[in-house]
Amino acid sequence: MVSTFPNSSTVNLTNVRLEIRSLQPQLVEWRRRIHQKPELGFQEKLTAEFISQKLQSWGIEHQTEIAETGIVAIIKGEKSGNEQVLAIRADMDALPILEANEVAYCSQHDGVMHACGHDGHTAIALGTAYYLHHHRQDF
């Protein structure tokens, strides 16, 4: 993976942290929504649709149905002269496990749950896409 994000001497990391922190309520909401609708590998139709809708609403170019349910989003920086690429990957599949947690956002799909953290990975990837898209001028 090659990063094209400016080095810390050109970026106010305090501002980055504050902006990311302001996304926390959305990240929690997305993670819980994904957690409630877990899907096994290559069956993540609802999850892929949710991600695609978010990307589309933000104006982020993307392709769906990669290897059946995968998504590839493209966020192009606006600075010229640097053709490096940053790739971010997140799993979004769940496991065939009955959820026994007693939380308001527990799995609504019997016998399937996000016991491995992929709901969190997906929410973080969405937050990263949102942030990078809104800061294209910085890279």
Residue 99 lies in a domain: yes
Residue 52 lies in a domain: yes
Residue 55 lies in a domain: yes
CA-atom Rg of the chain in angstroms: 16
Domain residues for the domain of 42 are 24-134
The structure tokens 């939380």 sit at: 103
Q: Identify the pLDDT of residue 6.
A: 53
pLDDT in tens, 26-83: 999 999 999 999 999 999 999 999 999 999 999 999 999 999 999 999 999 998 887 7
Rounded-to-integer distance, Cα 27 and Cα 33, Å: 10
pLDDT in tens, 111-137: 999 999 999 999 999 999 999 999 999
Residue 11 lies in a domain: no
Tell me, what CATH number does 52's domain have?
A: 3.40.630.10
- Kindly give, in sequence order, each residue whose CB lies less than 8 Å from that of residue 99, ignoring residues fewer than 6 positions away: 106, 107, 113, 115
Residue 139 lies in a domain: no
Rounded-to-integer distance, Cα 123 and Cα 31, Å: 5
Residue 4 has pLDDT above 90, yes or no: no
pLDDT in tens, 69-101: 999 999 999 988 877 888 999 999 999 999 999
Residue 19 lies in a domain: no
- The β-bridge partners of 63 are 72
Residue 6 lies in a domain: no
- Kindly give, in sequence order, each residue whose CB lies less than 8 Å from that of residue 96, ignoring residues fewer than 6 positions away: 40, 111, 112
Helix (H) or strand (E) holding 1: none
Number of structural domains (the chain) is 1
Residue 10 lies in a domain: no
